[in-house]
Structure 1
Amino acid sequence: MSLSTLSPAACSVVQPLLPVVGARTRVPLATGGEAVYANLDNAASAPALQTVADRVARVLPHYASVHRGAGYLSRTTTALFEQAREQVGAFVRARPDDVVVFTRSTTDALDLLSRAVPAGAEVLVADVEHHANLLPWQRSARTTVVRGGTDAEETTALLEAGLATGRYAVLAVAGASNVTGEVLPLRRLARAAHAAGARIAVDGAQLLPHRRVDVAADEIDWIALSGHKLYAPFGSGALVGRRDWLDAAEPYLAGGGATLDVSHDAVRWAQGPDRHEAGSPNVVGAVALAQACATLSALPAGALEAHETALRDRLVAGLTALDGVAVVRPHPGDAVGVVTFTVPGQEVSKVAAYLSAEHGIGVRDGRFCAHRFANSLGLVEGGLRASTGVGTGTADVDRLLAAVEQFLTSGPELEYGIVDGHWGPLHDLRPAPERFLDSTREPG
C-alpha cells in the first residue's frame, strides 16, 4: 500500500494554527541546497510563539531586580512577575487558594513536590510515565510502580485498583503520554484518588500544549508544566496546586527571597511560593510562559483539538498506508498530536538522520525519556516520534510521509554510518551545527 491510496478526507489541508518563531527557517541539506525546516519534534521542545517573542522583546528594556528594589523598573518587573503568576494559575483554572510556584521545568516542579510529600506517605505511579514523573517519586518517597495496561482505559483501571487498597497518599499520573499521545481521564482518576484518601499530582507537560485543563473542576491537587513544551522556551515552568504540603515542607532551595528573617541562630522561612523560589527568579521565563498561556487561552473553543486531531489522523493514516512501517498503538482513543512508529529492520537513529540530512525534517528517535514504557511496547531499540504543534500544517506531515516512502522504495541517496558517536551521512555537505548561524543567513 502507498500514500496514493489514502482517502480524500485523510488528505484535507490543515494550515498552522498560530505563528511561531522560525516557521520559515531554512536548513542546509547534506545532499546540497537547503529546505525550510519541518519541525515534527514539538513534544520534545516547542518553538516560541510569535506573541511570546514579541512580549519578551517588549519586557526586556524594563527588566530589573524583583521583590527587592525601590526603583520604578524594579517595581515594574515585580508587577510583571506576580502578574505572570496569576495568568498561569488562570490558564489551568486553579482554585483561589492554590499556589503557583515558578520552577525551571516540569521535572523541577515534580522534584519539588516529591520532597513535600509527608514522611512515610506512599505514592502510586504507573510505568507509562516519563522519567520526570517517575524518578523523583522513587527517590524521595515510598513508591509503587504498577505496569500500565494495553491502552489508557486499562491503565486507568489498574490505577483505580491500586488506589482502592487505601495504601496511597499520592497518585502521580501524566495527563498525556509522550510516547503514544494517549490522554488519561484525569477527573475520573482524581475522584478515585480522593475516594481512597489520596491526592493526585499531574504531569501536564504533554497535555497542556494540546488541551485545556480545569484544576478546580477536575479536582486535581497539583499540576506541573514546562514553558519549553508550551511555546515559551525561556527556561521556566510551574507547579500549581494546594499549598498545605508545600508550606509545611522544607524550602526547596535555601537562599535569599525564601526567608522572613535570618538571625545568628535561627531562620524563619516564608510561606507560599516565596518559600520555594529562593534566589533571583527567571522573570523573563515567567512572563514568556504567561504570554503563551494567554495566547492559547484566546483560541476559539475546540480549535486546538480540531487542528491537532486532523494532523494526527493524517499522520497515522499515512504511516499505516506504507508497507514497511509499524505505528505504535495507532488508535488509542483520545490522544494528542504524538505518533510513534518504527521501520522494522532499520536503525531508528539512521532513519532520523536520513530525514534530517536529506529532507530537512526533525523528528525524535530513541525511548523518549520513558524507558520502562517504551520497553513494554517493544521499543527496546527505540522508535521514531513525530509530534505536531500549533505551527504544524499538512505540508509538514506530507513531507514526512513522502520522505519515509522514499526511504522504503528507493533508499537514502547518501551512505550512512556512525559519525562522532551518532548516525549521520558519511559525506555531509552541511556546516557543523555549532557554525550554522555563522555560515548562513539569519533564520526567519
Structure 2
Amino acid sequence: MIATDERTPRTRARAARSSRTDAAAAAVGPGPLAALADAGLEVPVLGGGTVRHVNLDVAASAPALDAVVQHVARVLPYYASVHRGSGYPSQATTALVEDARATVARHVGARDDDLVVFTRNTTDALNLLASAVPGETVVLDLEHHANLLPWRSRRVVVGAPTIAATLDALDAELAARPAALVSVTGASNVTGEVLPLERVARLAHARGARLAVDAAQLLPHRRVDLAASGFDYLAFSGHKAYAPFGAGALVGRADWLDAAPPHLAGGGAVESVRLDGVDWKHGADRHEAGTPNVIGIAALARALVELERIGDASRREHEAALTARLHDGLAKVSGVRVLRGFDDADDRLGIATIELERGSVGLVAAALAAEHGISVRAGRFCAHPFLDRVATRANGLRASLGAGSSADDVDRFLDALTRLVADGPAHAYERTPAGWCPRVDDRPRPVID
C-alpha cells in the first residue's frame, strides 16, 4: 500500500544505502552512452545529505549533451543579426543558421526540394503544418496533444488492441472518406511503442493522403530517413534531442507550406511591403519571420551531429539492454501494472509507464525525488484520450531512458519503487495545488548565480 507516515527521517547514510550510490552496490550493465551536462549532479534528499541524481524524465526534456554546451560556448562570441548584417559576426551567424538547416536536412534524409523550417518545438511545427493542410487530417487516439489538437478539420481513429487491427481501422477510415493528411506519432510518449511507420506511409499514400510523423520521441532514439521511409513531413524538438535551447523543426514538402499563410507576420518573411498589401516570400523564410533563435538552431544541429557520431547501432544496443532491464524489473514489483497500447507491439523505446493497484503515483513520484534523488513523471502525459483507453487509473508514472542512462539508474529506480510500493514513504507528504510535497522540506534550494 502507499501511505504517508510520521517516522523520523532517515540519515544520510541510510539514504545513500537505499539509493545504492556506492560502487560496490552498482550492478554490472550498460553505463552512459554519452556525456551530458547533468552527469554527476548531486541533489539533496530529505533528512540531510545528497545523492547522485537519476534522471528518468528525459522523455519530457533531455539534458544537453556536453558537445552541445561546448558548441554553444564557441558560437556565442559570433552571435549577431542574420541575413541582413554586413559585419563579419553577422555573416558568420547567417552561415551558422544555413549550415544548421543543411545538417538537419541531411540527418533526417530530406529530399532535395523539401523545406526545413525552424520552429520553437514540435508543437509549434505541427501547428504550422496544420495551417497548410488543404483538407481533413486523420490521427490516432494515442497521439500527444501536440498532434491531436492543432488540426483544423480532424478525424480520430480509435486504436484497437493490436497494431494490425489499428492500421486496418485507419485504412477503412480513409477508404470511407478521403483525407489530405494522416499524422501519427513515431513512438508513443506513454508506452514507448514504435509504430511501423513505413507501412503507415504506404497505407496513407495508397488512399491519396500524405503522412506527417510526430518524431518528438522517436528522433532522439532512432535515426529517421524521411525520403527512404516515404514520410511527407517530420516534426521534432531540440529539447528532447539533447539540445534544450528552444528550437525545433518541420521538414517536408514545399508546396503546401508555400501556399499556406505565413506562420508569423513580420520582417524577414516578406519580399516587399506596401501600405495596401504585402508580397510574401516562399520557402522556409515565409514561415520564419523575426530574428531566429540562432543559439537554439546551432545547438539542435550540433546535437544531431553528435548523435550521428555515437551511431544508430550503438544507441539501439544501449537502449535495448536498459529497456529490457527496466521492464524485467517492473514485472517483479508487486502491485504495479505496466501500460501497453498494443498486444502485438514488438518494438519500443526506453519508456515505461506504470499504474498502481492502490495509492497515488503522484505521491510515489514525489517520494522518489525527495527521498531517493530520482526524477520521473506522474500524470497523464499530454495524452488524455490514450490514457482513458489503456489505463484503469486516472494517472500513471513514467520512467524514461536516454543516452545518459545507466544500469545503475534503472536498478536504483526499481529498488526505490519496490520499497515505496511495499512500505510507503519515510516522510510525511501532503497534497497541494502544486501536487504532492513533503510536509517539511529541509532540502536546500540551489544557488544559481
Q: Which residue of 1 aligns with 2:294?
A: 283
Which stretch of structure 1 is more off in the superposition, 29-38 or 415-424? Answer: 415-424
| Unaligned segments of structure 2, at least 5 residues | 1-26
2:146 maps to amino acid: A
Q: Give yes or no for the alignment of 1:436 onto 2:446.
A: yes
Q: What SS does the aligned partner of 1:231 have?
A: coil
Aligned-residue Cα RMSD (Å) equals: 1.4
SS of equivalent to 1:427: coil
Q: 1:195 is aligned with what amino acid?
A: A
Instruction: Name the residue aligned to 1:67.
Output: 83
One-letter identity of the residue aligned with 2:431: I
1:94 to 83, 95, 110: 110
In 2, the alpha carbon distance for the partners of 1:162 and 1:297 equals 38
- What is the identity, as a one-letter code, of the residue corresponding to 1:67? H
TM-score by length of 1: 0.92
- Conserved in 2, the CA contact under 8 Å of 1:31 and 1:414? no
Q: CA deviation at 1:143?
A: 1.0
Name the CA distance, whole Å, in 2 between partners of 1:231 and 1:380. Answer: 32
Contact 1:367–1:380 (CA under 8 A) maintained in structure 2? no
What's 2:15 paired with?
none
* Higher mean C-alpha deviation, range 124-133 or range 376-385: 376-385
Amino acid aligned to 2:353 = T
The reply to whether residue 17 of structure 1 matches residue 33 of structure 2 is yes
For 1:436, the aligned partner's letter is P
1:323 to partner: Cα distance: 1.2
Alignment-derived partner of residue 384 in structure 1: 397
Distance 1:303 1:153, change over 3 A: farther
- Is 1:134–2:148 an aligned residue pair? yes
Give the fraction of aligned pairs with identical amino acids, expressed as a percent: 54
Counterpart AA for 2:222:
R
1:150 paired to 2:161: yes
**Conserved in 1, the CA contact under 8 Å of 2:183 and 2:212?**
yes
Q: Counterpart of 1:26?
A: 42
Partner SS state of residue 401, structure 1: helix
Letter in 2 for 1:91: H
Q: Give TM-score, length-normalised by structure 2.
A: 0.91
Q: Give yes or no for the alignment of 1:189 onto 2:200.
A: yes
Verify: 1:413 aligned to 2:426, yes or no. Answer: yes
Aligned to 2:19: none
- Aligned counterpart for 1:226 among listed residues 229, 232, 237: 237
State the one-letter code of the partner of 1:132.
A
Conservation of the 8 A alpha-carbon contact between 2:56 and 2:400: yes
For this pair of structures, how many residues does the alignment match?
A: 421
Does 2:228 correspond to 1:217?
yes
Decide whether aligned partners of structure 1 residues 214 and 308 sit closer, same or farther in structure 2, where only a CA change above 3 A counts. same
Aligned to 1:299, which of 304, 310, 324? 310
Name the residue aligned to 1:238. Answer: 249
Q: Counterpart of 1:56? A: 72
State the match for 2:16 in structure 1. none
Matches within 5 A, 1:319-398: 319-329=330-340, 332-378=345-391, 380-398=393-411
SS state at 2:228 partner? coil
Aligned to 1:251: 262
Q: Secondary structure at the match of 2:116?
A: strand
* 8 Å Cα contact 1:166/1:197 also seen in 2: no
**Using the alignment, how far apart are the partners of 2:44 and 2:75 within structure 1?**
33
**2:43–2:51 Cα contact (<8 Å) kept:** yes
Q: 1:419–1:426: 8 Å Cα contact kept in structure 2?
A: no
User: For 2:183 and 2:296, how far apart are their aligned partners in 1?
Assistant: 26
Q: CA deviation at 1:420?
A: 5.2
Which residue among 130, 134, 138 is the counterpart of 1:124? 138
1:3 corresponds to: none
Aligned partners of 1:336, 1:164: CA distance in 2, in Å? 31
Look up the SS of the partner of 2:193 in the other structure.
coil
Alpha-carbon separation, structure 2, partners of 1:22 and 1:299? 18
Structure 1 unaligned residues grouped into runs of 5+: 1-10
